[in-house]
Structure 1
Amino acid sequence: MVPSLLATAGGLLLLFSFSSAGQYCPTTCGVADYRWKYKEDVTRDLDHLQRELENIANLTHGAEIKIDYMKDSAVSAQKSSPQDSFYKKSSNILEDVLRFEKTIIAQEQQIYELQNLISSNERRMLELKQISMQLQQKCQEPCQDEVEIKPIAGTDCQDIANKGATSSGLYYVKPPKAPEQFLVYCEIDNFGRGFTVLQRRRDGSVDFNKNWIQYKEGFGYLSPDDTTEFWLGNEKMHLLTTSTTMPIVLRIEMKRAKVGSEDDQYRLTYGYYLSGDAGDAFDGYDFGDDPSDKVYTMHNGMQFSTFDRDNDRYDGNCAQQDGSGWWMNRCHAAHLNGKYYQGGRYTEKDAGEYGFDNGIIWVTWHNRWYSLKETTMKIIPLSRITAGGQQAGVKQFGGLGDA
């Protein structure tokens, strides 16, 4: 029997065959002879096998290197494959497109706003052109170097009307106790009555938050066409009301009034209430806040107060908190020098720091949160009130515009 051994290595079929040493039990020398007989073949085969094994080992190592290279190449290819690069570039392009779209939308919005601004500016330019044309036409008229002042003078506007003046305008007056004449606006009506205007509010163009000296001397602007705002001055009011009986006229309300001297802080005193449908706010008003409201808000006998000269009966300074000078009590029910509110109605929040009713107030006609749009204070001798009939004359006084 010849046993054999088959083995494979590196794809090679190796055959090992062994023949029987004999039918006898070999001696040591027999075994040695047997070995020496096959040693050369076996050694040759073993050398061949060794070389093949080395080749196999080399091939295996090369395969491992190749595999590692392929793995690295695969990872590298995965990282920088054309498809992946395409996706990345596509993604970047999409992001750029979105960003550009947002930029375009923002720019379109800016363009829309600029177009609106251009339209607004064009409208404004058209308005300015029209104004420019009007001014150009006006400038073509001969310039008037001086304000027209009427030639007639007198002790007051009624005296001027008695002397033949028939039109309203600027006149010089000199009351008996005045050291010199001064300019006033005279309102002369069809009945021949001459009203001397003490105060005019029209549009809020003049700030009435002034100090004591300014209220004493007067401020604002007198105009021949009676289109401006002014306060004639406490000293002039004192001179005009001292020498004769001069009712003070407020819209269609009249009181026989007098303004005292500066030594008495221009105290306001008045007698009876003659007529009117605006109510008698000078007599005080019950606001419902305190039982003494009416007493605390009446103005008869009150001295004049400004933010720098506090003559009221309040612990604080009414003129300061209300922002203008007036004959304050604690503080007022009538205040025609108050802050001008264009819309008329206002609130505590609008009133600012103090939050009090600081508008142009006449509470017996409108409440404390309504600021009158136009006011006039004017005086006339008592003897002229009933000219043309008492009620007829009263109804034509005018002065305070409706809301």
Structure 2
Amino acid sequence: MTSLLFQLVSVFLLLLAPLLTSCQQLLQPVDCSAIYQQNRTKPSGVYTIYPAGKSSAVKVYFGVLVNPPSRPPQVFQRRMDGTTGFGNPTGEYWLGLDNIYHLSNNRKSELLVNMEDFQGKKVFARYSSFSVGAAGGGFVLSVSGFINGGAGDSLSYHNRMKFSTFDKDQDTWPWNCATSFLGAFWYNSCNYANPNGVYRSGTNSTFSAVGVKWQTWKGRDYSLKSISMKIRPVL
């Protein structure tokens, strides 16, 4: 009798496990794609995700794509008006390197970079493969598979680079690219792209190349009106 009861309990737990996993994913989605898969009628807006488990809750913005509907890309970086800080999911935003690492390593991901100039022209660059390495290795950028949406390829130059900041110089330049160009990024020696640079209005060469830059589109000294970097799982 005890053996039969044990077998019945074991079968019940096996049947229950997928349901519990599904509920966990619904309550603590790892990314915006998980939210979309659970409910495809969700509108664009701010949602909470858990890139590294239940203790890693963070608010993010995703916009639902229509005509036809598809998995929403998730914003991890945005510049749009020069407001201070990067903590507003609907404004200027930076998700954080640890979270980007977890999102891009959960599964194969692609990157979409949207940008706009001060004349209202919009272009994009897309990369079919994107990931960021772990903190111990310096958050190394891996990006490939460029698809041109009018912006040109300013990011491949930064491929395989560690992330540099004012207080952690990990670029290949003799000096600190982050300090010299007033930003933080996967600098090489130094940059073709500087999306976290100083927010300025269009062409300004007073202090060269310190603006929100995508060099293959607008050149070295043009600071963009807006730029956003978005990640999406590749199925």
Scaled to the shorter chain, the TM-score interval is 0.7 to 0.9
Question: 4+ residue runs of structure 1 moved beyond 4 angstroms?
Answer: 176-179
Match of 2:110 among 222, 228, 247: 247
What are the within-5 Å matches in structure 2 for residues 142-153 of structure 1? none
* Alpha-carbon offset, residue 305 of structure 1: 0.3
Alignment match, 2:82: 204
1:221 aligns with 2:84: no
> How far, CA to CA, are the matches of 1:178 and 1:267 in structure 2?
25
Higher strand share: 2
Counterpart residue identity of residue 281, structure 1: S
- What SS class does the counterpart of residue 161 from structure 2 fall into? coil
Counterpart residue identity of residue 214, structure 2: W
- What SS class does the counterpart of residue 162 from structure 1 fall into? helix
* Alpha-carbon offset, residue 381 of structure 1: 1.3
* Structure of greater relative contact order (alpha carbons < 8 Å, 6+ residues apart): 2
- The answer to whether the 8 Å contact 1:153/1:173 transfers is yes
Identity %: 32
Match of 1:334 among 177, 193, 202: 193
- The answer to whether the 8 Å contact 1:248/1:257 transfers is yes
Match of 1:365 among 202, 217, 234: 217
- What SS class does the counterpart of residue 82 from structure 2 fall into? coil
1:268 aligns with 2:126: no
- What SS class does the counterpart of residue 236 from structure 1 fall into? helix
* Alpha-carbon offset, residue 276 of structure 1: 2.1
- What SS class does the counterpart of residue 171 from structure 1 fall into? strand
- The answer to whether the 8 Å contact 2:77/2:95 transfers is yes
What are the within-5 Å matches in structure 2 for residues 359-398 of structure 1? 359-383=211-235
**Higher alpha-carbon Rg:** 1
- The answer to whether the 8 Å contact 2:181/2:197 transfers is yes
Higher helix share: 1
- What SS class does the counterpart of residue 217 from structure 2 fall into? coil
Alignment match, 2:167: 308
What are the within-5 Å matches in structure 2 for residues 7-18 of structure 1? none
TM-score of the superposed pair, with normalisation by structure 1: 0.47
- What SS class does the counterpart of residue 170 from structure 2 fall into? coil
> How far, CA to CA, are the matches of 1:244 and 1:274 in structure 2?
20
* Alpha-carbon offset, residue 372 of structure 1: 0.4
- The answer to whether the 8 Å contact 2:52/2:99 transfers is no
> How far, CA to CA, are the matches of 2:183 and 2:213 in structure 1?
12
* Alpha-carbon offset, residue 178 of structure 1: 7.0
* Alpha-carbon offset, residue 157 of structure 1: 0.8
- What SS class does the counterpart of residue 305 from structure 1 fall into? coil
> How far, CA to CA, are the matches of 1:180 and 1:167 in structure 2?
23
- What SS class does the counterpart of residue 304 from structure 1 fall into? coil
Match of 1:159 among 22, 25, 34: 34
Counterpart residue identity of residue 174, structure 1: Y
> How far, CA to CA, are the matches of 1:168 and 1:369 in structure 2?
34
Alpha-carbon distance change, 382 to 313 in structure 1, aligned in 2, over 3 angstroms: same
What are the within-5 Å matches in structure 2 for residues 60-139 of structure 1? none
- Between stretches 165-174 and 175-184, larger displacement belongs to 175-184
- The answer to whether the 8 Å contact 1:361/1:370 transfers is yes
Task: Give per-residue Cα distances to partners, 1:72-122, cap 9 Å, x unaligned.
Answer: xxxxxxxxxxxxxxxxxxxxxxxxxxxxxxxxxxxxxxxxxxxxxxxxxxx
Kindly tell me the number of residue pairs found equivalent between the two proteins. Answer: 197
Task: Give per-residue Cα distances to partners, 1:299-350, cap 9 Å, x unaligned.
Answer: 0000000010000000000000111110001100111111100x21101x2x
- What SS class does the counterpart of residue 319 from structure 1 fall into? helix
Structure 1: state its 5+ residue gaps.
Answer: 1-150, 208-218, 284-297, 384-403
- The answer to whether the 8 Å contact 2:28/2:53 transfers is no
* Alpha-carbon offset, residue 363 of structure 1: 1.0
- The answer to whether the 8 Å contact 2:28/2:54 transfers is no
